[in-house]
Amino acid sequence: MASQDYYAILGVPRTATEKEIKSAFRKLARKYHPDVNPGDKSAEERFKEINEAYEVLSNPESRKKYDQYGQNWKHADQFEAARQAGQRASRTRGGRTVTFDFDDFVSSSGGGGAGFGDIFEQFFRSEPRRGGTAGRRTATRGQDIEHPVEISLEEAFNGTTRMLELTSEQTCPVCKGSGRSGGKPCPECFATGLVTKPKRIEVKIPPGVTTGSRVRIAGEGGAGLGGGPKGDLFLVISVRPHPLFERKGDDLYVDITVPLVDAVLGGEALVPTPKGTRLALKIPPETQNGRVIRLAGQGMPKLGGGGQRGDLYAKVNVQLPTNLTPAQRSLFEQLRASQVR
């Protein structure tokens, strides 16, 4: 939805008059109205878009903001307030600090907000806190930060910790976040109210995470602006493939080798577990090659599942004997003669 252009949705040029906008809206609204297209989901979506576009463009005030700020037009008020406060901002993106003046991108944003959203996004990514902070309209929650973490299957099984080196945004100690010091823009933080500092934190990764799990570390994201709360840190987990275990959800699959005689007559096999231990598994007589035997509750812990675990599946690989002695060979010949199948 971020790249939606309300003018394109209504099929009118940016210079369209109010009348042209209204007429385009009516035409499209008739065409995509749910009553005319019962059960058509895409028509319904279009109808919603058309309405949204018309709502913004039919109001001269919101249209003007939209023209200037694009999709972020709703945040225009906060932006104006920040600009008037003469704030300068510096943010770290991918290890590189980008510093710019708010005025810099006001002047370059005339073309309907193209290329502007990204920078804007960094400042006003979240809705401001409403109420309670009268006069602090720029109060904005800090950014959420993602940090990739790779762990082993054993670590995913047991849970683990990591020491992370982060660049953390903190409230400026000189101006206490106000951006002004001694009646002047604060030199310590370039009037942003924020300073960046390296920071080491230990984070806990709970048992049961899998590739793609996001572990939230509350309040360790970017600092808020204008007294807003801090964002969160999200650890984005990837679990390395394991040489023995294949994981499907909370279940694990492992191959076990069973000698022919045990498969035929029954016996016992040892099954490795993600704990690092081995479990004795009863092999029933006449177990077929490829048979999968379930060990209930011996799989991965369920994330946040209070100790519940998935299952472990052992797949039997029957090992045929080699280097037979003459006596053994003769036994197989007797089996053949008895026409065992």
**Contact residues: Zn ion, CB under 5 A:** 172, 174-175, 186, 188-189
Least separation in angstroms between CB 89 and Zn ion: 12
Least separation in angstroms between CB 82 and Zn ion: 15
Q: How far apart are CA 226 and CA 82, in angstroms?
A: 9
Least separation in angstroms between CB 184 and Zn ion: 11
Among 143, 165, 163, 162, residue whose Cα is nearest residue 93 = 143
Which is closer to Zn ion, CB of 191 or CB of 283? 191
- Give the 3-state DSSP-derived string for 254-315, with helices as H, strands as E and coil as C: EEEEEEHHHHHHCEEEEEECCCCCEEEEEECCCCCCCCEEEECCCCCECCCCCCCECCEEEE
Q: Which residues, in sequence order, are bridge partners of residue 196?
A: 169
**C-alpha distance across the termini of the chain, in Å:** 64
Is residue 68 within 8 Å of 76, Cβ to Cβ? yes
Least separation in angstroms between CB 119 and Zn ion: 21
Which is closer to Zn ion, CB of 62 or CB of 178? 178
Which is closer to Zn ion, CB of 176 or CB of 329? 176
Is 199 in a helix, a strand, or coil? strand
Least separation in angstroms between CB 86 and Zn ion: 13
Which is closer to Zn ion, CB of 43 or CB of 174? 174
Which is closer to Zn ion, CB of 75 or CB of 91? 91
